[in-house]
């Protein structure tokens, strides 16, 4: 799945649009989780607009690739990608977290088109993704299952039970990402509960592992292509990212794990993204 320079620029512009949408919807809602939504933008962009097979006009297409946002608090980036893909009208984004909206604080598979699993309890989405991959094997389907976890999320024991399960059943149709932005709601991941050595741990559990720059769409696409060639083992892509990527006042700031921008911060960020999108066209 080679990608041309023009296609790559289109994806970079798409990522910028998703960031614009994330900041706008959280700012309008007055609540939400911007930090971890912004750090995952390139991963979600590459998956939804280049890598995955999916049909917005037929969300339950049997042969679609599945995406599970295990770190469910980053729902805004998923909603932005779903709207941009055409699962629901883009104007729906501005109803985030409002009473009666299909876009709640965490993904709801019963209300939101394109959401595969209701997530929020950390580790459970990843476990369901493993089950989906096993079901695909049993049904002799050729779809792939992608999951996105947070680095703080893998402190949960349920993650390692699922990791052992996936390796035991040789789920080579499962490719997971860790959004490794080094911050969780209580502070630096290394201080709250150190997860290192991450690469060695996943390898010890029988996974193929690759570490990349999680803000390089090209590296993400190349890593997934490499992962597709792996046989009899699930794959883990460890994506080094920056919390709050793209918004100067949020980058690397733990407070913005779950704090919305002020009106002024929102306006400044939106203007910056608009300029960035214009520059990509040049």
The CATH number assigned to the domain holding 239 equals 3.40.50.970
Q: pLDDT (tens digit, 9 = 90+) per residue, 246-259?
A: 999 999 999 999 99
pLDDT at 195: 97
Residue 2's pLDDT is 76
pTM above 0.95, yes or no: yes
What is Dmax (Cα atoms) for the chain? 52
Q: Specify the number of domains making up the chain.
A: 1
Neighbouring-strand partners of residue 67: 146
pLDDT per residue as tens digits for the range 212-231: 999 999 999 999 999 999 99
Q: What is the mean pLDDT of the chain?
A: 97
Q: How confident is the model at residue 280 (pLDDT cuts 50, 70, 90)?
A: confident
Strand partners, 148: 69, 177
Task: Residue 176: give the domain boundaries.
Answer: 5-281
List Cβ neighbours of 119 (8 Å cut-off, separation of 6 or more): 68, 69, 70, 71, 72, 106, 107, 125
What pLDDT sits at residue 253? 97
- What does the DSSP assignment read for 184-231? ETTEEHHHHH---SHHHHHHHTT-EEEEEETT-HHHHHHHHHHHHT--
pLDDT above 90 covers a percentage of the chain that reads 98
């Amino acid at each position: 799945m080679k990608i041309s320079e023009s296609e790559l620029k289109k994806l970079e512009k798409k990522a910028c649009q998703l960031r614009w949408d994330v900041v706008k919807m959280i700012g309008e809602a007055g609540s939400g989780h911007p930090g971890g939504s912004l750090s995952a933008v390139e991963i979600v962009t590459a998956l939804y607009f280049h890598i995955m097979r999916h049909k917005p006009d037929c969300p339950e297409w049997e042969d679609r690739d599945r995406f599970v946002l295990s770190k469910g608090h980053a729902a805004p980036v998923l909603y932005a990608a779903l709207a941009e893909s055409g699962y629901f009208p883009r104007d729906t984004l501005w109803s985030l977290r409002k009473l009666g909206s299909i876009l709640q604080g965490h993904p709801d598979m019963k209300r939101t088109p394109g959401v595969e699993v209701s997530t929020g309890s950390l580790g459970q989405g990843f476990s369901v993704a493993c089950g989906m991959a096993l079901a695909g094997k049993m049904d002799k389907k050729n779809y792939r299952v992608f999951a996105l976890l947070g680095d703080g999320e893998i402190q949960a024991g349920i993650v390692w039970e699922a990791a052992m399960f996936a390796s035991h059943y040789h789920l080579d149709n499962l490719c997971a990402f860790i959004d490794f932005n080094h911050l969780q709601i209580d502070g630096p991941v290394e201080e709250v509960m150190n997860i290192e050595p991450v690469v060695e741990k996943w390898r010890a559990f029988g996974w193929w592992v690759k570490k990349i720059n999680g803000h390089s769409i090209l590296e993400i696409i190349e890593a997934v292509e490499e992962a597709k060639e792996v046989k009899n083992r699930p794959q883990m892509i460890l994506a080094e990212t920056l919390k709050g990527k793209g918004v100067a006042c949020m980058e690397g700031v733990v407070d913005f794990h779950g704090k919305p921008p002020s009106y002024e911060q929102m306006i400044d960020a939106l203007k910056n993204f608009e300029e960035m999108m214009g520059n990509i066209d040049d």
